[in-house]
Amino acid sequence: MALITLDRSISSRSFSSPLSSNLRAFIVIVQITILLTCLPLASGFFGEWGPDLEGPWCAKRPLDSQCCDGRDDYCGVPILGTECYCDIFCNETAYDCCPDYWQHCHGHFRPTTTPRPTTLPTPRPVREPCIKDGVRYGPGEKTSENCNDCTCELIDPVSGRYDWRCSNDPCLLRPELIQAVNDGDFTWKASNYSKLWGLTLDEGVRYRLGTFLLEADVLRMTPISVIDDVLPESFDARQKWPNLLSPVRDQGNCASSWAHSTTAVAEDRLRIETAGVMTDSLSVQHLLSCDRGEQMGCEGGRLDRAWWFMRKFGVVTEECYPYTSGLTDSAGQCLVSPKQKSGACPSGIMYKRKRYKATPPYRIRPVEREIMKEIMDNGPVQATLLVREDFFMYRRGIYSYSDLTSRRGDPETYLKSGFHSVRIIGWGAERTERGDIIKYWLCANSWGPEWGESGYFRILRGSDESRIERYVVGVWGKVSGDDVLRLLLKESRRRRLRTRRSRRQLRHIRTRGSRRRDRRRRMRALKEAFLATRPNDSRGHRQSSTSSRRRRERGHGSKKHKKNKNKKTQHRNQQNFYPSQPMVM
């Protein structure tokens, strides 16, 4: 290496012996002259390298990145105190390619057409990488900005400037909208949710909702039932039926609100009707995976089809067929066929016959008081809600559409809506800071307990806010394969019809209160009697062991010989596994 040897010989000479100051000054001048002539070569002009600079340079780099595309400031090799490069960008400047770049990366020597710089080359512009949150990113590296993906790309090849190039989709959660809601004059507050952060608005509407709007007259309307009933100012089904309501669940990124709201309402009503004897959770997955045909699984479904499935086939328990679509984002295969009578559950446990069902659903008039009365008498109802872009950010308070997107003049792509079904479980009224009284519905969503007010939200009542009062549905529970539950439901329905008829004459709430206490007491007695006879089986399966047979025998014994005479009756009784005793009131 001639150059370096020369350099080193000069410096070694300058320290070797004491010389006169004149000579010293001369040597320094010579040294500077030599350095100046050598500088262009040393500082990066590798155009006319001698045999000593031939290399290997690029060939020294890691095998998989010896020659690089575009501009890559990491694609270099130290040389003579500076750096030479093995990327195509060195082609542009034509002076900082490594001496072996053309031979090694292109298989030939430098093309003669490339002009040779005659002046001292300016050094390669300082690398300007992409920066995010104080972290530097190299070319081609990716990051994301909320719902948009960004790549660090060469923006200007001449100056070598890099910057982020990002997709430009409207995001589901927009910090500026959250801010605007919280700063604005609204009755609710918004917040960020890590679970929803990073989704586009389109994805949110596509994956988080999932109810197709029904024609207004698909379901039979209930007759008007509120005449002059006094309805309380506030009501919460969780207080009237403690521990009976199904908890808030999380549908995940699967547009299955149609299945979630349907099973939740059916479950609530079954538990209420049986006064808590029925404790199972209903399988959302069963409805979601097995109600196919017109239903779109995780892309949405119709409520009338869902209720039809519940009426015709019913679902097994959550324990048997747990919800997995929140993780897989797809409805998956139907693992318990609608007509399958018994067998192994997807969860591995065994099940027998029992299916939770519902009667045909009925529609409640889109009248505030009618809906209130239905909830108070019979339990939570299913409602379909028009969800618009700001609803996803709801944190607390009484929601009504802010319309901020239009008010702020955002582009139309930022407006998006879809239908979503939820449960209404109560109502109330609240005084605002300005002293106005606003009425609200209390609803359960299916976006997990972290969302909103512990999974619930409140929404303006009495003005069909977001169409929540327009399509409200109720049902009665039904069950097959469990005779005690079935009888219990029948009894409860008969009683309810009776009270409804007599209630017409009622004028006073207190009378109803005592009647309710009376009913509760009877229900409790019924439940206790039932639990005493129920086999100790945590899965709720019917017990086929000897203990049940013994109980059956006991039951028959007390009935003397009456039934033993009739073999047909006896046979039927053996099929009806539970004794009729608890039903005697």
Ligand X SMILES: *[C@@H]1O[C@H](CO)[C@@H](O)[C@H](O)[C@H]1NC(C)=O
- 133 near 120, Cβ under 8 Å? no
DSSP-assigned letters across all residues of 435-473: S-EEEEEEEE-SB-TTSTBTTEEEEE-SS-GGGTTTSEE
Closest contact distance (angstroms) between CB of 190 and ligand X is 11
Of 194 and 545, nearer to ligand X (C-beta) is: 194
Contact call for residue 191 and ligand X (CB under 6 A) = no
Per rule CB under 6 A, is residue 480 in the interface with ligand X? Answer: no
Given the complex with ligand X, which of 192 and 413 has the nearer CB atom? 192
CA atoms within 13 A on the CB side of 83: 16
CB of 173 to ligand X, least distance (A): 7
Tokens of 10: 């000069």
Joined tokens for residue 569: 């009756």
Does position 148 interact with ligand X (CB under 6 A)? The reply is no
The nearer residue to ligand X, 92 or 453, going by C-beta atoms, is 92
* Closer Cβ to ligand X, 26 or 197, answer by number: 197
| Annotated active-site residue in 108, 420, 564, 573 | 420
Tell me the C-alpha distance between 546 and 96, whole Å.
92
Helical spans, DSSP H, in 293-361:
303-312, 325-328
3-state SS assignment for residue 24: helix
Cβ atoms of 313 and 355 closer than 8 Å: yes
Q: Tell me the sheet residues that pair with 77.
A: 84
Check if 571 is active-site: no
Taking the complex as a whole, how short is the minimal distance between the CB of residue 111 and ligand X, in angstroms? 7
157 part of the interface to ligand X, by CB under 6 A: no
Q: Taking CB under 6 A as the rule, does residue 545 contact ligand X?
A: no
- 546: contact with ligand X by CB under 6 A: no
Asked if 175 touches ligand X (CB under 6 A), the answer is: yes
Give least dist CB 91 to ligand X, A.
4
Are 155 and 189 spatial neighbours (Cβ–Cβ below 8 Å)?
no
User: Is 445 among the residues known to form the active site?
Assistant: yes
Specify burial of residue 3 (Cβ count, 10 A radius: 0-12, 13-18, 19+): middle
Name the residue number minimizing CB distance to ligand X.
194
| Cα separation, 421 vs 404, whole angstroms | 23
Q: Which of 253, 378, 445, 573 is catalytic?
A: 445
Quote the least distance from Cβ 88 to ligand X, whole Å. 5
> Coil, strand, or helix at residue 190?
strand
Q: Per CB under 6 A, which region of 116-124, 189-197, 257-265, 380-388 contacts ligand X?
A: 189-197
Instruction: Give 180 or 444: the residue with its C-beta nearer to ligand X.
Output: 180
How many residues of this chain bind ligand X (CB under 6 A)? 9
Asked whether position 17 contacts ligand X by CB under 6 A, the answer is: no
Provide the minimum distance between the beta carbon of 180 and ligand X in the complex, in angstroms, as a whole number: 13
Kindly state whether residue 548 participates in binding ligand X, applying the rule CB under 6 A. no
Residue in 286, 296, 294, 235 with CA at minimum distance from that of residue 262 = 286
- Per-residue DSSP letter, 99: T
Considering the complex, state which of residue 114 and residue 533 has its C-beta at the smaller distance from ligand X: 114
Letter for the amino acid at 107?
G
Query: Which 77-116 positions form the footprint of ligand X (CB under 6 A)?
Result: 88, 91, 114
Q: List the structure tokens of 409.
A: 């003049």
Judged by the rule CB under 6 A, the positions of this chain that interact with ligand X are 88, 91, 114, 175, 192, 194, 197, 536, 538
Q: Which sequence positions are flagged as catalytic?
A: 420, 445
